[in-house]
Amino acid sequence: MYCGVEQIHVCILTPGALGSNPRVVKEANALSNAGHRVTVIATRTLAEVDARDDAVLADANWVGCRLDFRQRHTGWQFRRAKQLICASAFRRIQHASLAEGGISPFTNPLIAAATQIVADLYIAHHPAALPAAVIAARHRGALYAFDAEDFHIGEWPDDAIYDANRSLIRAIEGRYLPGCVYVTAASPGIADAYAEAYGIVRPTVLLNVFPRAEAPPLPTPSGAADPGPSVYWFSQTIGSNRGLECAVQAIACARTRPHLYLRGSPAAGFLDQLVGLAHSIKVVDRIHILPPAAPHEMSTLAALYDVGLSSEPGHSSNNRVALGNKIFTYLLGGLPVVMSDIPAHRAIAPELGAASLLYSKEDAESLAEALDALLGDPPALATARAAAFNLGQLRANWDLEQDILLRLIEQMRNCPTPTAR
């Protein structure tokens, strides 16, 4: 209905909060700055994210709609119970409608909200939003697309106990992905995994990089954190299956006696375990917990530390093929990245060159050696930090990467409206 029209209305759908979805915000900004109308439908669940949401919306030149799912609001318990009933029923009767009802309590409200928006393209982030994008697109005679920030059927360990979770996701993605006008993926490994799992055209890789405006003004030869030397790691959650136990053991082994700085919200009970481990090997005074911060601040905050750690243990197929956004945050901040040798990290390491070092995953001595190679050699650290900063400025940034997204939108002008299966 709009082939040949340069400017379109795009509706982006996510079951997450704006303040926790930098990829959604970057996409909305890029499309809006290119002249398209953009509406983002997100959720509101946690009071601690509200300030970050408000900051995003204050700077946005697009329309944001937050569906309020805070537990004190009526209807939450009903939605959650309905989702659990559908998920349980799907295990016995694998029907598409049960999968859509069972994947998330947010899916049906997203459907209701999306169908009220008259758009030309609906972009789903996460499988929980995919039915909403499809139903709204059908309703409006429009197109829909999907962005895979993770390989979602691979987010759980390979144990059979998680087969029901995988089956539910597969039912939704397998049904709707072939009808997408395009699919994007956050890493080459995720793109390969989706193509193999569903027999679709390999998704277009759209890396989780960040705008140059978020970088510090200049590279520095070392970090300024005191005490140091400093190793930095961040995520939304400080929890298990992140390689942090290995990191604590590594700073005990390292001859440079580094301090480990962890930024995020601790998962229930995990911090006690980590501190207990640190106590047992006498490094508790070298563990520092930092509060969460806004996504746009992460690169400048990272620049305060000597090296960045990406310690993924490869505990699931997604964990083995994803490239966490922390890697590109470190590069933009001018930090060399010390990475576990999972397949995704091994694949990107040659491109990063002097800005990265690999270590054997879950091997504390190997990690200690990698840390010492940089922290114990100031000229080597300065060289690695300069290489990281240059990569962030010249290649690994959203200013360049967004052109891939804009080309996909341009190509849509020649695409007929597909019929979702």
| 420 part of a folded domain | no
Question: For the chain, how many structural domains are there in total?
Answer: 2
**181 and 300 co-located in one domain:** no
Q: Which two tokens stand for residue 2?
A: 């709009």
**Domain-located, residue 419:** no
Residue type, position 83, single letter: Q
CATH number, domain with residue 182 = 3.40.50.2000
Kindly state whether residues 281 and 333 are assigned to the same domain: yes
CA distance 85 to 401: 41
Residue 386, domain member (yes or no): yes
- Note whether residue 4 is domain-resident: no
| CA 328 to chain CA centroid, nearest Å | 11
Residue 14: which of 104, 74, 120 has the closest Cα?
A: 104
The pLDDT score that the predictor gives to residue 76 is 64
Is residue 408 within 8 A of residue 182, CB to CB? The reply is: yes
- Note the pLDDT of residue 90: 66
Is 2 among the domain residues?
Answer: no
The answer to the question of residue 341 being in a domain is yes
CA separation (Å) from 280 to 274, 295, 336? 10, 34, 29
Residue 106, pLDDT score? 87
Phi-psi region at 243: left, alpha or beta (left = phi > 0; alpha = psi -120 to 50): left
- Residues 136 and 13: their CA atoms lie apart, in Å, by 11
Predicted pLDDT at 88: 67
Q: Which residues contact 129 (CB under 8 A, 6 or more apart)?
A: 13, 14, 15, 106, 107, 110
CB-based contact 127:103 (threshold 8 Å) = yes
Q: How far apart are CA 385 and CA 373, in angstroms?
A: 13
25 & 144 share domain: yes
Q: Give yes or no: residues 294 and 171 share one domain.
A: no
CB 79 within 8 A of CB 107: no
Reading the chain (421 residues) residue by residue, the pLDDT tens digits are: 344 447 899 999 999 999 889 999 999 999 999 999 999 999 998 887 888 889 999 999 999 999 988 765 556 666 667 666 666 666 667 766 666 666 778 898 999 999 999 999 999 999 999 999 999 999 999 999 999 999 999 999 888 888 888 888 999 999 999 999 999 999 999 999 999 999 999 999 999 999 999 999 999 999 999 999 999 999 989 999 999 999 999 999 999 999 999 999 999 999 999 999 999 999 999 999 999 998 889 999 999 999 999 999 999 999 999 999 999 999 999 999 999 999 999 999 999 999 999 999 999 999 999 999 999 999 999 999 999 999 999 999 999 999 999 999 999 866 655 443 3
Together in a domain, 320 and 235 = yes
Residue 174 sits in the same domain as residue 221? no
The answer for residues whose C-beta is within 8 angstroms of residue 379's C-beta and 6 or more apart is none
Within a domain: 57: yes
- Report the amino acid identity of residue 153: I
**Structural domain containing residue 92:** 9-209+399-414
The strand ranges marked E within 255-400 are 259-266, 287-290, 307-310, 337-340, 356-359
- Distant-in-sequence, close-in-space partners of 268: CB < 8 Å, separation ≥ 6: none
d(CA 250, CA 231): 11
**Per-residue pLDDT at 5:** 45
Q: Is residue 249 part of a domain?
A: yes
Sign of torsion over alpha carbons 303, 58, 148, 203 = negative
